[in-house]
Amino acid sequence: MARHFQCTACGKCCYGQLPLTIKDAFANAERFPLCFVWTPLRQGSKDYPMVASLGTTIKLADRKELAVLIVPTAYIPSELPCPALLENNLCGIHAEKPARCKTMPFYPYRDEQYQAELLIPRKSWECDTSEVAPIVFQDKRVVFRDDFDTERQDLEEQVPLLRRYAEFTLKYSPMIVDSLAKASMSQKAGQVVTSLSSFLTATKYSDTKQLAQRQLPVLNAFAEKTVGHKPHVDFHKKYTDWAKEMAYLASRP
Ligand code: SF4
Ligand code: SF4
């Protein structure tokens, strides 16, 4: 069945967490407060094979296995807009916006045949899905597919680096397995969040100092923005802790 979709640039999907590729995260280190979000998936889910191939798998004590997405993320509370969103709801970095934003609402972490499920706008989103809008999905295939293919390719290319990070993290912080197992039981998509500094250290990233210098002011700005807001207490604590880590990395010789 043909599915129609057109973005009307209402800006409503430009709030909250924004998943990124590593390439886009690092290119926007002076713009987004960055971290890594780990989302576990239990065996049996239809997304399991794709999540296992673009993320990693971990064994649990009961011999079961989890597939885990490890996603570089602009970590923003759901009520707050993306820092690049303009007052007129347009994107301030339209020409160079992240692959995730170009591919919206498609999501290459999911098998292509299931992408039609993502064409149902969330409450309050003003996407046009009427028959006047262009056909964007047909015969289980994305029609205008350049952005989709580019994002999928970026996700595939970063897998070895993410797995190196996962291996390091699971070795030195084995308690994360319990957190992921617990998150996988949650009704809502459970998450475990790790810091950008843990990734830079684990992968021995070559430009750590420069990246930390670009990221530090963003974390300080978000810590300031969320201070004293009850719903943002956890975010504020994370920004503050991560800023200390970034300050250390930024000041190293
Ligand atoms: S970068 Fe642009 S399109 Fe992407 S979330 Fe931010 S404002 Fe929206
Ligand atoms: S919610 Fe829909 S219409 Fe609004 S900016 Fe996002 S994709 Fe476009």
pLDDT of residue 64: 86
Q: What angle do CA 241, 37, 147 make, to 5 degrees?
A: 130
Ligand 1 pocket residue status of 74, Cβ below 6 Å: no
Q: How far apart are the CA of 7 and the centre of ligand 1, in A?
A: 13
Determine how many CB atoms are found less than 10 A away from the CB of residue 80: 16
* Three-state DSSP state, 80: coil
Q: What is the dihedral sign for C-alpha 203, 96, 30, 37?
A: negative
Buried b (16+ CB within 10 A) or exposed e, 19-33: bbbbebbbebbebbb
Farthest CA pair distance, the chain? 59
Q: Closest Cα to residue 34, out of 227, 180, 233, 214?
A: 214
**pLDDT at 185 (0 to 100):** 85
Taking residue 9's Cβ as centre, other Cβ atoms within 10 Å add up to 14
17-29: pLDDT as tens digits? 999 999 999 999 9
pTM for the structure as a whole: 0.95
Count of CB atoms situated within 10 Å of the CB of 225: 17
**Cis peptide, bond prior to residue 105, ω within 30 of zero:** yes
| Ligand 2 pocket test target in 5, 6, 8, 124 with most atoms within 8 Å of CB | 8
What pLDDT score does 246 carry?
97
Q: Is 7 in the pocket of ligand 2 (CB under 6 A)?
A: yes
pLDDT at 80 (0 to 100): 96
What pLDDT, on the 0 to 100 scale, is given for residue 60? 87
Q: What pLDDT, on the 0 to 100 scale, is given for residue 18? A: 97
Q: How far is the CA of 85 from the centre of ligand 1 (A)?
A: 6
**Confidence (pLDDT) at 191:** 92
Q: Which two tokens stand for residue 61?
A: 């004590």
What residues in the chain have per-residue pLDDT under 70?
187, 189
Partner residues linked to 135 by β-bridges: 4
Would you say the CB of residue 127 lies under 6 angstroms from ligand 2? yes
Q: What's the CA gap between 57 and 8, in Å, rounded?
A: 38
Q: Is the CB of 15 under 6 A from ligand 2?
A: no
- The pLDDT score that the predictor gives to residue 174 is 87
Query: CA 232 to CA 33: how far, in whole Å?
Result: 14
CA of 5 to the centre of ligand 2 (A): 10
